[in-house]
Structure 1
């Protein structure tokens, strides 16, 4: 098995995670019931073809997962796409990939805490959103500080709970359909000729893909994987495949039962309650409450727990390479976790979450920016596969090292082009800042250099 020492690093994190741990981590990061929270938005943008939006999102992420798997075999280190682009193309490109994915990773915990805080506040209005934010951030920070094994144990429990809630919804939904409560034809969630255009489909996929973000978080745990690097890639593909099946099935059932379809398509879902209204229509108020509370706990605790862990590993990897402040590379000697990076993520998540809670469409704005950062970084990942394997190593594995990355790149371009315009502008400004920082590093003689490149 490849070791990180050959790339100029010391093994500081604890190798304790197996294939099942990594796959479960990815599933929790994606959240098996993630569509609950954004169902209304995807329904509106897709003109009711929610299942189709998730299928297209799966295609985009499947090719990306294949590229991740190839690069994980070559470079079994923490850092995700930052490491792969840096090692596969060059340190400056790696910095920009890391800077792009930071827009995703840093904002994801804030988004999750905000969604959970708003949801819990709707049930217990006496406790403000900011108080829920503090509670969730504090709890997750303590669990992550206690070590990756503690995080892995907690995620297993949460995964079982989420799957149980999903099973209840699907059973009740199936009974409702059998009772004749369907609001549209059986194939409408996958194709509706009255509303179908490719721009509609890709625009919807740009929203739906938020549910898939997280499988890539597995790559940040490369230095805590105790098995062969190939298992890392396989765990990504397995987690992505299982999540996709769950997403398509639940959104198909929900789309068939959604009341007020025309109004939802025309007016959107500003309150974020479309799925819970559908659950109430299918099974009663108790099912609405169950799915809403499950969403709050899943996003605010389980998902944000692993998101904080993944983000801290990315900050750790970039700081270790002197591309971020060095204090973020400090590892706790007892728990073997990047302690300062973990605390930094907690602080940023809390500040951003509280700030965005005061904005009318804080959730939507954060979600759009998260997607832009991830998609941009994934584009560089596909390029890295081609450069590293085909250009440098003269690989003749044309499918894995050329055809699949090119297809994945093309699909992602279609998704990004059809994304929210505001997200494109703000995301573009973020990239511009990254380019200025990169230029400044060259100007002051601190150009990005990876350990094995040091002369």
Structure 2
């Protein structure tokens, strides 16, 4: 296994994670039941072709996962796309890629906490949304502070629980279909000739892709993994493939059983209740409550737990390279975690989550911004693969280092173009701020420089 000392760093984080830990981490980050929470929005945007939207999202993310795997082999260290773009192209490009994906990583925990808190508030209204937010943030911060092994143990338990709930829904759903409760033809969730256009499909995919975000978080744990770099890449691909199967199957079953289809397509699903309504139609009120509570716990605890861990590692990596304040690079001497970065993420998540809870479209606005930051960074990742392998190393593996990244880039461009227009404006403003920060670094004599590889 490559040593990070080869790239000018000291090994500070604890190497304790196995291949299974990494794959489970990625699955938890993506949330096996993620479509529960955004099913209605994807259904309305895709005009009922939910399964097709997830297939397109899988294609985009599959090529991105292949690019991640290639760069993880070349640079087995924390930092994700920030590290890969910085070392694969140039340090300033890495800074901008890291800045772009920071928009995703910094907002993801807030989005997860907000969705979960809103769901729990509907069941226990005596506790306000902000109260649930505080509880989720404190709980996850304590677990992450205790070390990555504690996080890994918790995620295993949560993954099993999510899969049990998903299995119950699928069994009840299949029984309902066998009883003749289907509201449309078996292939309609994949293709409806009366509604199909590429703009509709890609617009829906731009929402559905939120469920896939998280497999890339595995790369942030490269310095805490005891497996070699190739297996880190394979764990990303494996986690993505397993999640995709689960996403397509559950959305296909749910789309067949969704009542009031035309009304949902026309009016959308602002409250985010469409999946739970479908669950009630399929199996009764108990199934609706079970799926809703499971979503709240999965998003508010399990997913946000690993999201907080991944975000703190990205901040740690950028601070270690003096591209963010140095205090974020502090590692706890006992727990071996980036402690200051962990606390900063917790604080930001709380502030942003509470603020967005006061906005009527807070969840939708956060979702669009999260997706924009991630997809912009993924575009740079594909370029980094081509530049590092084809231009620098003169690779002869044209599929892995040229064709696959080019296809992934093209698919992502189509998805980004069909995103919410507001996300383009706010995301673009975020990138402009990043350029200003980068220019200020140059002006102050602190231009981005990565530690040199040992020759």
Moved beyond 2 Å, runs of 4+? none
Which residue number corresponds to residue 67 of structure 1?
67
The C-alpha deviation readout for 1:283-323, integer Å capped at 9, x for no partner, is 00000000000000000000000000000000000000000
Matches within 5 A, 1:280-319: 280-319=280-319
SS of the residue aligned with 1:270?
coil
Matches within 5 A, 1:213-252: 213-252=213-252
Which residue number corresponds to residue 324 of structure 1?
324
Which residue number corresponds to residue 265 of structure 2?
265
Which residue number corresponds to residue 345 of structure 2?
345
Which residue number corresponds to residue 176 of structure 1?
176
2 CA distance for matches of 1:424 and 1:270? 21
Q: CA deviation at 1:444?
A: 1.4
Which residue number corresponds to residue 149 of structure 2?
149
Which residue number corresponds to residue 50 of structure 1?
50
Which residue number corresponds to residue 79 of structure 2?
79
Matches within 5 A, 1:350-429: 350-429=350-429
Q: CA deviation at 1:440?
A: 1.1
1 CA distance for matches of 2:219 and 2:348? 22
Q: Tell me, yes or no, if structure 1 residue 335 matches structure 2 residue 346.
A: no
SS of the residue aligned with 1:451?
coil
Q: CA deviation at 1:260?
A: 0.3
2 CA distance for matches of 1:54 and 1:336? 38
2 CA distance for matches of 1:383 and 1:4? 23
1 CA distance for matches of 2:131 and 2:419? 32
The TM-score normalised by the length of structure 2 is 0.99
Q: CA deviation at 1:421?
A: 0.2
SS of the residue aligned with 2:452?
helix
2 CA distance for matches of 1:172 and 1:217? 33
The C-alpha deviation readout for 1:369-389, integer Å capped at 9, x for no partner, is 000000000000000000000
SS of the residue aligned with 1:396?
coil
Which residue number corresponds to residue 256 of structure 1?
256
1 CA distance for matches of 2:126 and 2:197? 45
Q: CA deviation at 1:432?
A: 0.4
Over aligned residues, Cα RMSD in angstroms? 0.9
Unaligned runs of 5+ residues in structure 1 are none
1 CA distance for matches of 2:87 and 2:14? 23
Which residue number corresponds to residue 201 of structure 2?
201
2 CA distance for matches of 1:227 and 1:129? 41
Which residue number corresponds to residue 108 of structure 1?
108
Q: CA deviation at 1:453?
A: 7.5
SS of the residue aligned with 2:335?
coil
Q: CA deviation at 1:451?
A: 1.0
1 CA distance for matches of 2:260 and 2:236? 37
2:7/2:453 contact within 8 Å kept: no
Q: CA deviation at 1:117?
A: 0.4
2 CA distance for matches of 1:228 and 1:78? 14
Which residue number corresponds to residue 121 of structure 1?
121
The C-alpha deviation readout for 1:21-57, integer Å capped at 9, x for no partner, is 0000000000000000000000000000000000000
2 CA distance for matches of 1:435 and 1:52? 37
The TM-score normalised by the length of structure 1 is 0.99
SS of the residue aligned with 2:182?
coil
2 CA distance for matches of 1:416 and 1:441? 29
The C-alpha deviation readout for 1:384-414, integer Å capped at 9, x for no partner, is 0000000000000000000000000000000
SS of the residue aligned with 2:186?
coil
1 CA distance for matches of 2:160 and 2:453? 45
The C-alpha deviation readout for 1:403-439, integer Å capped at 9, x for no partner, is 0000000000000000000001000000000011111
Which residue number corresponds to residue 134 of structure 1?
134
The C-alpha deviation readout for 1:93-117, integer Å capped at 9, x for no partner, is 0000000000000000000000000
1 CA distance for matches of 2:105 and 2:232? 19
2 CA distance for matches of 1:16 and 1:424? 40
